[in-house]
Homo-oligomer: A and B are copies of this chain.
């Protein structure tokens, strides 16, 4: 699939944000009430109980379901890659897309293991974004068009969406977004990504410093941060997260890069991520700090830093189990199990 331009300006994105539905409090209350009657000590499934309630609140169903989980990977290339901010050459983005198509990547194995749907979006790989050290990554029209394309992720239906990404150079872009949104030095936000050495790390920090200086006066608007410092996969991920909210599909955010897309939405509206959980804490630098700033509690902490939606998909398998427990467990009455004294 290829991104096509639409006429949507940023104001239309703001209108969608304003139109976001809230949680279904009745569905959440129904889950809590049923949970008290299930054959286990109250609270003993811990986070699984919270996840079942959260799924109900955002699906708007008192019996949440995970029948059509979907992993979407957004892939793009970045002008800033010319500054050798990654250990890998830019061609690897395209090569990894071919690897996804052939079933050879980590995310393919995880989706196969758990029977999850899987889609990859090629976001104009042959057109890297502008080099953020001297120009905006995208113009407004292209940014919004890419967000709209990301919204298509769920057009075939899904009841749980995992958002992942692939793009050589995109941890540099994500660091620039964090600095743009939260302030602080480039050095604070930049990590080693795929594993750059000290020189590579210095180049990443230098690139983010330059980008922040060039775009400084426009960074009060989160959507300007997205188009100036971002990339197509991050814009598309933001669109997908927003579309999922409008369609009542709970979302599992992946790691350091996808969280940058989530952070843009959070800065537009602090409730914009209420339908999201963080799949995991990435091993990439400051991810844990970002999650705390945007109010997302991670499900897993496994020292992963691959992207591709791998952390989100693993967490989704636990959400599936949480929902299975809630739906399938017998009540004390049904099982004729005695309650607590």
Contacts and interface: CB of A to CB of B under 8 A. Distances in A.
Given A87-B41, A325-B106, A320 B95 contact: no
A305 B338 contact: no
Given A105-B330, A324-B112, A329-B105, A336 B304 contact: no
B303 A102 contact: no
A41 B330 contact: no
Interface in A282-311: 283, 299-306, 310
A335 B94 CA distance: 11
A113 to B, nearest CB: 4
A214 to B, nearest CB: 26
Interface stretch (A44-52, A120-128, A146-154, A204-212): A44-52
B340 A195 contact: yes
Given A113-B324, A328-B108, A329-B104, A306 B194 contact: no
A16 interface: no
Contacts of A317: 114, 317-318, 321
Contacts of A109: 321, 324-325, 327-329
Nearest to A280: B46
A121 to B, nearest CB: 19
Interface in A87-118: 87-89, 91-92, 95-96, 98-99, 102-106, 108-110, 112-114
A335 B95 contact: yes
Nearest to A306: B44
A159 to B, nearest CB: 15
Given A113-B320, A321-B109, A338-B88, A306 B102 contact: no
Interface of A: 38-48, 84, 87-89, 91-92, 95-96, 98-99, 102-106, 108-110, 112-114, 194-195, 283, 299-306, 310, 314, 317-318, 320-321, 324-325, 327-330, 334-341
Nearest 5 A/B pairs, CB to CB:
A104-B330, A46-B303, A41-B194, A87-B340, A44-B306
